[in-house]
Amino acid sequence: MTQRAVRFSLISGLMACLVALTAAGPAPAQDMRYFRIGTGTSSGTYFTVGGLIAGAISNPPGSRPCERGGSCGVPGLIGVAQATEGGIENLDLLRSGAIEAALVQSNLAFWAYGSLGVYERRPPFADLRAIATLYTETVQIVVRADSPIRAIGDLRGHKVSIGEPGSAFALDARIILGGLGLTEKKYTPVYLRPGASVDQFVDGKIDALFIVGGAPFTAISDAAARVPIRLLAIDAEAAASLRRARHLFTEATVPADVYPGVPETATLGVTALLVVRAGLDEELVRGVTRALWHPSTRRALAQGFPNGSFLPLPMARDDTPIPLHPGAERFYRESDGGAAKKTP
């Protein structure tokens, strides 16, 4: 499904909600709740996935019942995918109570929860809780197909887009490129959103794009539709070195032909989590988790985010670096997947 199709489906879903509300007449305010999900920029994977999840968990008053082909979300709930700058801003918004849930990289969640890494000078986000581990995000370093840049070391002296200042992309770039011997003094970092970076990349003003996200990543697909591209590999030895220094990175691959003509490429991965605060209503979180695992939701996620490789229930439940929310834990315990991982 194209980004245009995804956006159309989200708009259609919202229109359907409005039609249902109109048909049912005015609903009492207490019967309707909003569930804001911090995602990412509109050209990124988080925004696409967040929109699909928001639609799946929504079930506004007056909706047709699930068993009759209607919404299978949480009764009275309207999910909202909120565009942000990504994981770091999402955690700040969640900590302040400005949103109910967020998509975030597992390493950021782990560091924020334990006051580690980039969060070592901030109080621990002790009430951060997971609903599920969703999929593996991959490190994707993009160059033009005709570029003389053949390996990571060849980025020396070139302009590399690494996302906006303070973004998770920029943080990951410093960790990964720095761990491979490329500090920011050895290349020229360019701080732009993915969409703006692609325009400059296509125009030849930027030599490479550093992006971490699900494949296909919308902005990279846009670049590949305009100019032939390649992905730079991170070989096994370099990957092992980075994993030893910075846990939570794993070996990963970008499958062949996710982008036209680009072969399978070895790289690093980090998982994406759906997180909430511990104090969020247990029954609400149980309902959101149940809706997330409904067969119709899994089909929508697979169709709207092809090659996303969403994790099966046991891994989504167990591979979280922070505790599960009690509501999510309760759903997993009650499901056929078995006993949930216990919170500390």
Nearest to 290 by CA among 134, 57, 77: 57
314 within 8 A of 324, measured Cβ to Cβ: no
Pairing of strands 250-254, 265-277: antiparallel
Q: How many CA atoms lie less than 13 Å away from 326 in the CB half-sphere?
A: 8
As a whole number, mean pLDDT of residues 181-203 equals: 94
Q: Is the pLDDT confidence value at 198 over 70?
A: yes
Question: Among 94-98, 123-127, 167-171, 323-327, whose mean pLDDT is lowest?
Answer: 167-171
Cα–Cα distance between 305 and 208 in angstroms, integer? 24
Cα–Cα distance between 320 and 237 in angstroms, integer? 26
As a whole number, mean pLDDT of residues 65-81 equals: 89
Q: Is the pLDDT confidence value at 134 over 90?
A: yes
CATH for the stretch 3-134+273-334: 3.40.190.10
Q: ω before 216 within 30° of 0 (cis)?
A: yes
Q: What is the pLDDT of residue 247?
A: 58
Token reading at 58: 């929504």
Token reading at 319: 């591979």
Nearest to 177 by CA among 232, 95, 110: 232
Positions of CATH 3.40.190.10 in the chain: 3-134+273-334, 137-270
Q: Is the pLDDT confidence value at 144 over 90?
A: yes
Name the β-bridge partners of 105. 272
DSSP letters spanning 67-136: GGTS--S-TTEEEEEE--S-HHHHHHHHHHTS-SEEEEEHHHHHHHHHT-GGGTTS---TTEEEEEEEEE
As a whole number, mean pLDDT of residues 216-244 equals: 89
Name the β-bridge partners of 251. 268
- Angle in degrees, CA 64, 67, 69, rounded to 5: 55
- The model's pTM is 0.83
Q: How many CA atoms lie less than 13 Å away from 163 in the CB half-sphere?
A: 26
Of these ranges, 69-78, 126-135, 328-337, the one predicted with the greatest mean pLDDT is: 126-135
Q: Domain 137-270: which topology?
A: D-Maltodextrin-Binding Protein; domain 2 (3.40.190)
Residue 52 three-state SS: helix
Question: Which residues, 6 or more positions from 53, have their beta carbon under 8 angstroms from its beta carbon?
Answer: 37, 79, 81, 274, 292, 297, 301
